[in-house]
Amino acid sequence: AGVAAAGMTSARADAAYRLEGDLDVQDLGQKDGWYWFRGSLEIILRDNHNDKLLVDERWPLKVSGATKPQAEVRLRDQVQQRLNLELKTALLGVKEQQN
């Protein structure tokens, strides 16, 4: 949903740009009655014609929950929130850099 909100469509063979994502999460286990996850979400945008790196954004993630499934849901929600709120801004930065 965040990718669509940023104005991008699904991949085509002749696409000018390639958007890649990497979610790196560590399960920190239970501490003081809470289940914890920590990690980062990285978004990379490349020019498909010359493989030039245009955007490389990384956002930290840290969530907890009273149960492990609750912490997993919160992690998923945090990833979605980051994409919905910050992906478009990161991609718009490419236009500003190229002008």
For 44-93, what is each residue's pLDDT tens digit? 998 988 989 998 999 999 999 999 999 999 999 999 999 888 888 888 77
In this predicted structure, the answer to whether residue 96 has a pLDDT above a threshold of 60 is no
Q: Which pLDDT value is given to residue 89? A: 83
Least Cα distance to 34 among 72, 11, 64 occurs for: 64
pLDDT at 86: 86
Banded model confidence at residue 4, pLDDT cuts 50, 70, 90: low
pLDDT band for 34, please (50, 70, 90 cuts): very high
55 or 10: which carries more pLDDT confidence?
55
Question: pTM for this structure?
Answer: 0.77
Question: DSSP state, 16?
Answer: S
Q: Centre a 10 Å sphere on the Cβ of residue 39 and count the other Cβ atoms it contains.
A: 20
SS3 of residue 22 by DSSP: strand
Degrees (nearest 5) of the Cα angle 71, 75, 81? 140
